């Protein structure tokens, strides 16, 4: 059974103007699709053909890992966003952010710093590790599950995530994703899982 590009949890233009339909056309329709296609080519006729995406991610290295992890990362990223998201946390995660970071402003400052200081391509994450919330940054396709951490939220800081809408302004992209799109319901669901 081949891997498939998961449907977006909203319309392709639903995140505009924060993330334009044109960015989604390329980022979801071309980049994410290409990772799916390359993963399928890599596993065709191998023992991994019927493996789960997570199993491939945990055991693979090199190009197979890169494509499998980027399929997972992008699906997780789309689910981390909502047209009705953004702003202050709600539910259980609000209490955890207060306890483990000292408040939303400190969380926001730390994940912004992680995204800005990830040199080159990569990801900024809110994770739970050893029972505590933490901020991580990972290069290229790397992701929390490879480091014993549970992903709760991510921002893609590859240039392809923001260059159409914000050109070189990665800081602006991070700011508006946090202000307008962060899906706290998804974060809470991950926390509870």
Considering beta carbons, is residue 93 or 114 the nearer one to Mn ion? Answer: 114
The least CB distance from residue 42 to Mn ion, in Å, is 19
Q: Which of residues 132-191 bind Mn ion (CB under 5 A)?
A: 156, 158
- Could you tell me the two tokens for 64? 């197979």
The least CB distance from residue 27 to Mn ion, in Å, is 6
71 binds Mn ion per the rule CB under 5 A: no
- Could you tell me the two tokens for 4? 């498939």
128 binds Mn ion per the rule CB under 5 A: no
Q: Which of residues 78-97 bind Mn ion (CB under 5 A)?
A: none
Considering beta carbons, is residue 28 or 184 the nearer one to Mn ion? Answer: 28
The least CB distance from residue 57 to Mn ion, in Å, is 16
Q: How far apart are CA 52 and CA 3, in angstroms?
A: 9
Q: Which of residues 11-70 bind Mn ion (CB under 5 A)?
A: none
Task: Give per-residue burial for 113-132: e unless 16+ CB within 10 Å, then b.
Answer: ebbeebeeebbbbbbbeeee
Asked if 154 contacts 76 with a C-beta cutoff of 8 angstroms, the reply is yes
Q: How far apart are CA 113 and CA 77, in angstroms?
A: 18
Q: Using CB under 5 A, list all residues that contact Mn ion.
A: 156, 158
């Amino acid at each position: 059974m081949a891997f498939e590009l998961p449907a977006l949890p909203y319309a392709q233009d639903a995140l505009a103007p924060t993330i334009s339909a044109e960015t989604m056309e390329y980022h979801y329709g071309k980049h994410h699709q290409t990772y799916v296609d390359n993963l399928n080519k890599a596993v065709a006729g191998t023992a991994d053909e019927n493996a789960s995406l997570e199993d491939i991610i945990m055991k693979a290295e090199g190009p197979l890992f890169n494509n499998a992890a980027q399929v997972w990362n992008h699906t997780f990223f789309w689910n981390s966003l909502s047209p009705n998201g953004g702003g202050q946390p709600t539910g259980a995660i609000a209490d955890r952010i207060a306890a483990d970071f000292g408040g939303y402003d400190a969380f926001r400052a730390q994940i912004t710093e992680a995204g800005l200081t990830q040199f080159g391509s990569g990801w900024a994450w809110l994770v739970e590790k050893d029972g505590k919330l933490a901020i991580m940054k990972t290069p290229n396709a790397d992701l929390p599950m490879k480091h014993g951490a549970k992903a709760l939220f991510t921002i893609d800081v590859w240039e392809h995530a923001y260059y159409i809408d914000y050109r070189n302004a990665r800081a602006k992209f991070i700011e508006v994703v946090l202000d307008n799109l962060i899906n706290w319901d998804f974060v809470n669901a991950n926390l509870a899982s």
